Chain A
Amino acid sequence: DQQVKQNSPSLSVQEGRISILNCDYTNSMFDYFLWYKKYPAEGPTFLISISSIKDKNEDGRFTVFLNKSAKHLSLHIVPSQPGDSAVYFCAGLISGGYQKVTFGTGTKLQVIP
């Protein structure tokens, strides 16, 4: 049962344009959502998170939107840069004393110069 789904395995965007990466989840128990970026042969790097009680969180070029009723979140990167080319993982977290993070399968973003 895939509790966190990233239905687009890949995405290509022109440099300077907006990249939108989507994520759907089924587990209503998640109280935080996280986005990670991963380059080949490296571990994931934390990008941005959002609490389930918020609908938007912004950090520089990265903004995450959460629609709880639709169980959907998205990561917007504006403007996209070639260095943003990587695999992006969406993850749901159930907190409250333990740390279990459930990841999606990832979306490979390619930013074309």
Chain B
Amino acid sequence: KAGVTQTPRYLIKTRGQQVTLSCSPISGHRSVSWYQQTPGQGLQFLFEYFSETQRNKGNFPGRFSGRQFSNSRSEMNVSTLELGDSALYLCASSSLGGEAEAFFGQGTRLTVV
């Protein structure tokens, strides 16, 4: 069974640009969550999608947005990039069953210069 796939793995953008990150969950998983990891803040929850609907949102500005497609693949978009957006962005998928363990992808390393 293929794991969670995130593309691209690495990305360099300049301030003011926008970026789109992609996440393909484990087959059959309908929940996709996005997290930002920075050295100082650890892992912070961005948002969660289930069946194309955003069900939960963390405390991030509106520049951070996402969507989920009918095949459960998800994209995350960050507009008007700032230097502080440099981070590892992780996607996790879950089937929502039982103890609801989430499986993570390898992440996309975004560097804003």
Contact = CB atoms under 8 A, between A and B. Distances in A.
A25 interface: no
A12 B96 CA distance: 35
Contact of A44 (B6, B56, B104): B104
Contact of A101 (B4, B41, B102, B107): B102
B43 A41 contact: no
The dominant DSSP class at the A interface is strand
Given A42-B106, A46-B103, A93-B100, A103 B43 contact: yes
A83 B109 CA distance: 24
Interface string A34-45: 101000011111
What 6 pairs between A and B have smallest CB-CB spacing? A43-B104, A105-B42, A103-B43, A46-B101, A98-B55, A100-B56
Interface of A: 32, 34, 36, 41-46, 49, 51, 89, 91, 93, 95, 97-106
30 contacts: A34-B99, A34-B102, A41-B109, A42-B107, A43-B90, A44-B104, A46-B101, A49-B99, A49-B101, A51-B99, A91-B43, A93-B100, A95-B100, A97-B96, A98-B31, A98-B50, A98-B56, A99-B31, A99-B48, A99-B96, A99-B100, A100-B33, A100-B45, A100-B48, A102-B45, A103-B35, A103-B43, A105-B42, A106-B42, A106-B43
